[in-house]
Structure formats: C-alpha cells, structure tokens
Structure 1
Amino acid sequence: MTDALRTSEVPRAHGLDGPALLDAYRTMRTVRSFEERLHDEFATGEIPGFVHLYAGEEASAAGVCAHLDDERDTIASTHRGHGHCIAKHVDVKAMMAEIYGRTTGACRGKGGSMHIADLAKGMLGANGIVGGGPPLACGAALAAKVRGDGGVGVAFFGDGGSNQGTTLESLNLASVWRLPAVFVAENNGYAEATAAEWSVGGGSIADRAAAFGMPGVRVDGFDFFAVHEAAGAAVERARGGGGPTLIEVRLTRYYGHFEGDRQAYRADEVRHARAGLDCLTRFRATVTGTGELTADRLDAVDAEVAALIDEAVAEARSAPLPTRADLETDVYISY
C-alpha cells in the first residue's frame, strides 16, 4: 500500500525542533489514547449515539493541523472527527463530556460525538453528512480572503466523501475563486463497507485535482513527516495567494466504521497496519533514531496523556445531564 507513496527519506529535513516534535507526538498519542479509551467506554452502554473512531489515522490530523493556528485558520471535519478536534486544540475534557452527553461538553451535551465544534479554536464541527465539510471550508476560506488575514480553510473528508457532489463543487469553487483552501481526503480504504478500490473512479482521489486546475498530492498516511511536508506546502501556497490544493492521505482505520461494526468486509489489514505501519511506532523510531527525542521523554508523554484521559472520563461521568429547561436553549443566535 505504501510503496508508491511519497515518504520522508531524510527525517532531519522536516524543519521541526524538539518542542515541535514533542507536540506532534503528544497530539497523536492523545488521539490514540482518547479513541482506545472510547472503544472500551462505549462497550459499557453509558455513551449515547454513534461513535466513529479515528485510531490509526493520527498522522493525518496531526501533520496537517501542525501548520494551522487557532485565530485565523479553520477546519471542517467528518463523522470521524475526534482526531481533528484534538489536533485543532479542542479541550479533551470538554470533548469527552460532549460524547457522554453532559452539560460540561463542548456543545453542552447536545451534539455528541458526530457534532463536536469549537469556533474559538477554528473547529467548525464534526459533521454527520458525508461531504458536508468542503462547502464550509470554502466559506471559511472566502471569509479569510476577504479579511486578508492570511487564514486558511481546511476540509477533511473520506474516500466516500470524495465522490459526493458537494466535494467536487467545492473543489471547483475554490479553484475558480482562488480560495486559500486545502482539501484533505483521508482514504482509509472504505466508505463504510464499500471498498475505495471499487468506488473511486480512476483509482486516485489526488489525480482528480488536475480537472480543477490545482495541485494534487498523494501521501503515506502512516508517515507523519510525509503528511507534514505535503500539508506545509499546501498551506504555504494558500496563504500566499496561490489557491487550493488537494491532498490524498492513504491510511487504515483500526476499528470499524462505527462501534459495533462486525467488519466482515476486511481481512487481516488492520493487524498488518498495527504491526508494521503504525504512525506512532514509526514516529518514535525516527525521532529516537536521530537522537532528537529520547524514549524516556516520549514515555513521559504517554503517562501524562493516560492521566488526562482518566480525568476526562471521570469528570464526564460525574457531570450533569441536560435538563428539560435546556431543551430550547442554543436554538437561535443573537448578534
């Protein structure tokens, strides 16, 4: 799967110092630990609604969002949005409380897993509508262009979302208006249970960029440095007025489409990915091999993140549920 994909042959050429590398690892570890804990918590029956886990795809969100800031840059997510939220600095405890449906949640317990948003962080929201994010990213990119603040709008979507008319129209609009936008297609191989090999005409999402007059890049989604490099070029191009870019990130999700998915459509690809391709394992091997970070420092991050997740779950469980009085709040906005 990865042989034909672009990878980082010289890790030290990534332009990241020690603190930035540590931040990247912390982001990926937080996403992984958050999702693995949710996998266990959902099985208890305490979490309402559906949950779609991002585990295995951490390098994509971390690699892209490392180039974004909270003040001017925005992202639009998907139903599999926890990783994007964390990478865009949405509060982990507020996320957990939201997933538990508590009033202390990021959206006061009214959105749940598929609708976490935090506009103050530039997170426009996870989205239960396949292909719903790209038009929002275009709007955000247009607003940034009008303001002239150098902001960028980023849309994450899956291989299924790449076939939606909303996505194709957004690619065209972004090109015609030369918007500061980046479109990130996270191709994990399946739109629910439909294989991308069958459903994506031509076999490449990135190649579709040529039809809209923008660059298209396909990268190894297990390699943080490859994603980081491609995203950096795309964001720089957008900020400089060069217009949009389409990035196809090839990766594998470690869990089913949703919690409870029997995954009868998959064989041993997850075992193979965990054993030989895992983005966290590869990142650790790279940065410890070059001496940029030590295993002890990375282990300390693991422990810190584990404690944070424990606290997030405990606080979410003890937080109050919305009441009938909350039913008609947050319906309209006052300007």
Structure 2
Amino acid sequence: MKTMFAIISKALCRITGKNVGARVVAARSFADVAPQATFDIKKCDLHRLEAGPPERAELTREQGLQYYHTMQTVRRMELKADQLYKQKIIRGFCHLYDGQEACAAGIEAAVSPSDHLITAYRAHAYTFTRGVPIKQILAELTGRKGGVAKGKGGSMHMYAPHFYGGNGIVGAQVPLGAGIALACRYRGNDQVCVTLYGDGAANQGQIFETFNMAALWKLPIIFVCENNQYGMGTSVERAAASTDYYKRGDFIPGLRVDGMDVLCVREATKFAADHCRAGKGPILMELQTYRYHGHSMSDPGVSYRTREEIQEVRSKSDPISLLRERMLGTNMASAEEFKEIDTEIRKEVEEAAQFATSDPEPPLEDLCNYLFHNNPPLDVRGTNPWSKLKSVS
C-alpha cells in the first residue's frame, strides 16, 4: 500500500507541481482508488490489413491523469489564444486545435520523444506535447522575444527537437515528412516519422506523390489524416469524391480511427508504429475528429455548419469529458482531483499569458539572426543582410 501511495503521489506531484499526497489521502481512503482499468474502444476500419489494433485498452491511473492534464492544457491554451486574438494582441494567422486534443495526446502516448513529428499550421498542441512550455508558445503567438521561434514564426512556424513544425503551405509538410523517414531508414535508428495533414490537404497532388515514394522505398512513416470534417469552410462531402481517407494510400495499409477517444488513438498509433518498425513500410491513419473553432480566426465557423451541430459534438463526443467520465466511473480518480488539476492549469496558462503580453518584442538587429541552426557564413548570395537594417517606424 505504501508503495502504491508513493507512485500515485509522485505522479500527481509531477502533474500538478504540488505535494498533493496528504490532501488525496484526507479526501478519500487510498484503498478505494483503482490503479487501472480496461475499457472497450471502437473497432478501427481496416484497409489492406488482416488484423488491426485491439478493441480493448488498459489505462493506469497515472496515464489517465497525464492524458487529462495534456488535453486540458491544450484546451485552455487554445481558449487563451482565442481571447488574445480577439483583443488584437495576437495578429495574423491563427488556427486553433480545441476539440482535437485526443489526437495529439494519443499519438504522443504511443511514440517515443526520439521519434519525429511534422504537422501543418494547426500546430500549437504538438508544440506543447513535444516539450515546449506554454509561455513560449503564447509568446510566439504574440511575437515576443521569448517565443519558441524568438517571435519570428508566429502561429504556423513553431519547432522543437524532433518536431519540424508547423508549416504554412497546405500539404507541403507531407513530402518533408517522407524525407525525415528516409533519413531514419538510411541511418537505421529504428525511429519513425509521424506526418500529419488535414482532410483538405488530403486532396493535394503532392500527398499522392509522397504515398508512391514511401511505398516504393518502404519508409518508416505514419501518415495521419486529421479529418475534422471540414476544410476551409467546406465539408468533406463537398470537397472529395471519396471520403475514405484511410484508403487513399492505395497499396499502403490504412486505419480509420475514432479521433475523439485518446485510448483509441493511442492503440492505433502503437499498432502503426510497430508496423513501421517491423520494416513493413508506411501506414496511413485517418483520425475522425472535430474542431470547435472555425478553420482560422477569420472564420466564425458557423456559416457552413450549425451551432447545434457543434454543441452536439461537445455534449456527446468531447475527448476530455470522455476520459474524465471513464476515470470517475471506474473510481480511478475523484471529481476533486480533476478540479484541482483544472485550477493549476488555469493558473499556469494565465501566468503564460502574462509573460506573452509583457515580454519585449525582438529588436530590429535580431531580424537576421537565428536563421540557421549551424551558423553558416554571413554572406548570402554576395550580400550581407546584417549591414543596412534601419527602422522606418
């Protein structure tokens, strides 16, 4: 009993940043807490596969609290970005991820931090799951010196170790992901590259060209189509003759996954990663998910879908609520614990927002710094971009 107490207390300390062991014991008998449970999950649709991921998933208490913390942090961070944008503190492009949190949390739970990941412009969540603090993400959104890209990249261009963005050109990250996977195969390091794109980008020609090369070269790449049902104001049914995105790889095996269930995403990604590491080549996953906000901040999101539709998804399929109810229903956590985690997350996001609005903007003389990782010569095509920078404001 003492050993189990130490394990869970340590997990909660890591999640909340506080020594909560005494408070948990005072609230309820520790013997009442279920350390793990097994849940039925939705069966994946398969393409060119004889068997797929399991239809039951085990969840430990520590895992559940961690997944909840990750998804709730992303949700609060995106809602804060929405607020800062409406206050005109964040400007330019900004694509929010609220509603799709189970995709990021589930994928990261199934791969290693040393595996590689590249995504499109809806990138804030993966920047966080790849290890970047909230304050650096929000500071990048506000164009501040303390941002993850030192205020120069903004919403669509964030990077971290083994994370290659955040890419603004629709679908262009997919061939880049194949290049990363080719490097993994060349080096023989047993790593995989998770390459994400949306249902809108799925119709891009470069996607199919990449499928072909990946299949020919048996690249260790997991293609992930985050199908959130709508492109830029257009439903999938109006944009594609076939909405079976998991079959689009033709000779590449595919899975259609419930992207609103973190356990379903986790098990499918584990299956896909094992497929790649076994030398079987690429695999394609379609995650059926939903975005609560519009395509970007310039899109109200209700001109091509109803508010009732959005509310129905929120009430029936919200990924955070689903995980919370599972854990409450199996006595793996209490409502008080979730409230405490929520309070800590709100505090952390507020502190990050304070930093993002008070940190100084990068000075003009830094404009041409940090462009390259390996410090190449200063001269670029015969000119020195550092020589004649003057502010005209």
Provide TM-score, normalisation by structure 2. 0.79
Query: After the TM superposition, which residues 138-287 of structure 1 pair with which residues of structure 2 at under 5 Å, given as runs?
Result: 138-209=178-249, 211=250, 213-263=251-301, 264-267=303-306, 268-287=308-327
| 1:93 maps onto 2:135 in alignment | yes
Do the aligned partners of 2:64 and 2:323 also contact (CA within 8 Å) in 1?
Answer: no
Q: In the alignment, residue 6 of structure 1 is paired with which amino acid?
A: K
Unaligned runs of 5+ in 1: none
Distance in 2, Cα, partners of 1:282 & 1:298: 13
Structure 2 CA distance, aligned partners of 1:195 and 1:96?
30
| Residue type of the alignment partner of 1:258 | S
Match of 1:75 among 103, 110, 117: 117
Counterpart AA for 2:206: T
Partner amino acid, structure 1, of 2:327: V
Task: Confirm or deny: 8 A CA contact 2:43 2:55 kept in the other structure.
Answer: no
Distance in 2, Cα, partners of 1:158 & 1:6: 22
The residue that corresponds to 2:107 in the other structure is 64
* CA displacement 1:79-125 (0-9 Å, x = unmatched): 1111222222222211111111011110000000111111x2x1101
1:36-75 equivalences under 5 Å are 36-70=79-113, 72-75=114-117
SS in 1 for 2:87: coil
Say whether 1:291 aligns with 2:334.
no
1:141 and 1:293 map into 2 onto residues whose CA distance is 39
Q: For 1:298, give the aligned amino acid.
A: F
Find the counterpart in structure 1 of residue 150 from structure 2: 108
Q: Which amino acid aligns with 2:130?
A: K
Q: CA deviation at 1:253?
A: 0.5
Structure 2 residue 84 is the aligned partner of structure 1 residue 84 = no
Q: Which runs of 5+ in 2 are unaligned?
A: 1-41, 45-53, 377-393
Identity of aligned residues (%): 37
Alpha-carbon separation, structure 2, partners of 1:90 and 1:171: 30
Q: CA offsets per residue over residues 17-44 of structure 1, 9 Å max, x none?
A: 2222221111111110101111111110
Give the RMSD, CA atoms, in angstroms.
Answer: 2.0
**Structure 1: how far apart are the matches of 2:345 and 2:277?**
33
CA distance in 1, matches of 2:327, 2:214: 37
Q: Is the 8 A contact 2:198 2:226 kept in 1?
A: yes
Q: CA deviation at 1:14?
A: 2.0
1:280-303 CA distance string (max 9 Å, x none): 111111122122333332222212
Aligned counterparts of 1:138 and 1:182: Cα–Cα separation in 2: 9
For 2:221 and 2:266, locate their aligned partners in 1 and report how far apart those are by CA, in whole Å.
Answer: 16
SS at structure 2 position matched to 1:33: helix
Three-state SS of the structure 2 residue aligned to 1:162 is helix
Counterpart of 2:364?
A: 324
3-state SS in 2 of match to 1:249: strand
What SS does the corresponding residue of 2:248 show, helix, strand or coil?
Answer: helix
**1:308 deviation in Å?**
1.1
* Equivalent pairs, count: 325
Distance in 2 of aligned mates of 1:269 and 1:312:
32
Mapped to 1, the partners of 2:208 and 2:155 lie a distance apart of 26
CA distance in 2, matches of 1:12, 1:110: 44
Distance 1:176 1:195 in 2: 32
Give the Cα–Cα distance (whole angstroms) in 1 for the partners of residues 131 and 371 of structure 2: 25
Q: How many Å apart are 1:60 and its aligned residue? A: 0.8
- Quote the Cα distance in structure 1 between the aligned partners of 2:184 and 2:338: 37
Deviations 1:133-155 (A, max 9, x none): 21121111111122222111011
Instruction: Give the distance between the partners of 2:283 and 2:371, measured in 1 at CA.
Output: 35
Q: Which moved more, 1:44-53 or 1:12-21?
A: 12-21
Measure the CA separation in 2 of the matches of 1:296 and 1:232.
Answer: 32
Q: Is the 8 A contact 2:272 2:283 kept in 1?
A: yes
In structure 2, give the amino acid aligned to 1:116. Answer: M
- Residue 304 (str. 1) matches residue 347 (str. 2): no
What's the offset of the Cα at 1:12? 10
Q: Which residue of 1 aligns with 2:43?
A: 6
